[in-house]
Copies of this chain bind each other. A is one copy, B any other.
Amino acid sequence: MSIESALTIPLGFRTASVKAGIKPSGGLDLALLVSDVPCAAAGTFTTNRICAAPVRWDRPLVPSESIRAIVVNAGNANAATGEQGEKNAAETARVAAAELGCEPSQVLIASTGVIGHQLPMDSLRNGIGRAFGALSAEPADFHQASHAIMTTDTKPKLASSQLVVDGQPITLLGLAKGAAMIGPRMATMLGFLITDARVSAKDLQSILSDAVEASFNCISVEGHTSTNDTVLLLANGASSEKPLQGADLERFAELVHSTCQKLARMIPDDGEGATHLITIDVEGARDREEARTLARAVADSPLVKTAVAGADPNWGRIVSAAGYSGVDFEERELSLWLNGTPLYKDGMPLDFDAQTVSANLRAERETTIRLQFKRGEGAIRFWSCDLTAEYVRLNADYTT
């Protein structure tokens, strides 16, 4: 079964993708996600102080009960573009709203690509017009949209899942992109989830914020937080007149959570030049934020990432990354496992066969690093990827 045929599309949503002429490659670079009716909408955004004009546009609009569409372009981030960039963002929303016969404030936008260049507005306006003429609810077209939002990604990132409430299926579809400038890059992390569930904007925002905290905020490619990171969730209520409540709402929240985790994990797995997906499990920290701080120091260490690339069980790099994280643990509180092999126990090195562990690291696409502390109940699962010469090659010549 191909990815395309496996996708289930929420009721009442349509998409279209076109070659608007923004990417120098001339590939697909503009995608629309349109709901037939106004949606409840939630969003989470980059914390970078240099934040893109589309982020500035969206941020005050969510949560909302009345969003009709998302317009996404790749090939240009519309970040660090000053007032003209803000005007261009507003114009993008206005053009789409005119097509839909709604207010510009009912249109969310997202951009990804190079920083510091103005959007080619004539091309963009023309592309939006063409896209509105091509809207479709076919799975193949949503699959194409997941390609249109890619920059240096090598694989599209899609996930759909269903839940049955009162005999009625509720469908959730997610699309994401990102392969670098993930901490959570200039190529940038974007995620879009659409569902036919009926959920209030307030509940939706709370569910999305919790889900992002344990998914898109637990990944790193190189620790460079993008100017454009955006995750949006639209719920149009097409599956039922009755809003989700109680246990059903919790089941829906779990669906959002698992879908966000699936999509998030695909990002470092497709990290630029990556040959290993690294899962970092931290346990026994004082609290979840402390666990995140420890996991992120390990996830972002170029020395840990190059060791994994080389299938080198150089565990000293892992414990020393935790050591400079800023968390004031004692060495004797720390134990470490690499792909299940114990290497360090209560602050003491253990004997192990380096050749066997290295062979295992080399053979497996996934590397698991488990750090156990004795400070409390704080735990987190975090995903990163290795650092290869290919990452350097890809990034040493991006704009020129």
A-to-B contact residues, CB < 8 Å: 47-51, 77, 79-83, 114-117, 180-181, 183, 185-186, 222-227, 300-303, 306-307, 309-317, 319-324, 327-331, 334, 344, 347-349, 354-355, 358, 387-389, 391-393, 395-400
Contacts and interface: CB of A to CB of B under 8 A. Distances in A.
Copies of this chain, tallied across the complex:
2
A37 to B, nearest CB: 36
Given A316-B116, A354-B399, A392-B309, A49 B224 contact: no
B400 A313 contact: yes
A54 to B, nearest CB: 14
Contacts of A399: 312-314, 316, 354
Nearest to A47: B324
Given A223-B302, A306-B391, 13 more contacts: A49-B328, A50-B319, A50-B322, A82-B347, A114-B314, A115-B317, A186-B314, A222-B301, A223-B301, A302-B395, A307-B396, A358-B400, A389-B392
Contacts of A309: 392, 396
A350 to B, nearest CB: 9
18 contacts: A48-B320, A48-B324, A49-B328, A50-B334, A51-B323, A80-B349, A81-B349, A115-B316, A116-B316, A116-B344, A222-B302, A223-B300, A224-B303, A227-B323, A302-B302, A306-B395, A355-B400, A388-B396
A80 B331 contact: yes
B398 A314 contact: yes
A388 B83 CA distance: 36
A77 B180 contact: no
Given A115-B316, A316-B115, A321 B395 contact: no
A316 B48 contact: no
A226 B222 CA distance: 19
Given A320-B224, A397-B310, A331 B389 contact: no
A396 B313 CA distance: 10
A17 to B, nearest CB: 25
B224 A324 contact: yes
A227 B392 contact: no
A301 B180 CA distance: 12
Contacts of A355: 400
Contacts of A398: 307, 310, 312, 314
Contacts of A47: 324
A176 B186 CA distance: 37
Contacts of A300: 223
Contact of A312 (B79, B307, B387, B400): B400
Contact of A310 (B321, B323, B395): B395
B49 A322 contact: yes
Contacts of A329: 49
A49 B321 CA distance: 9
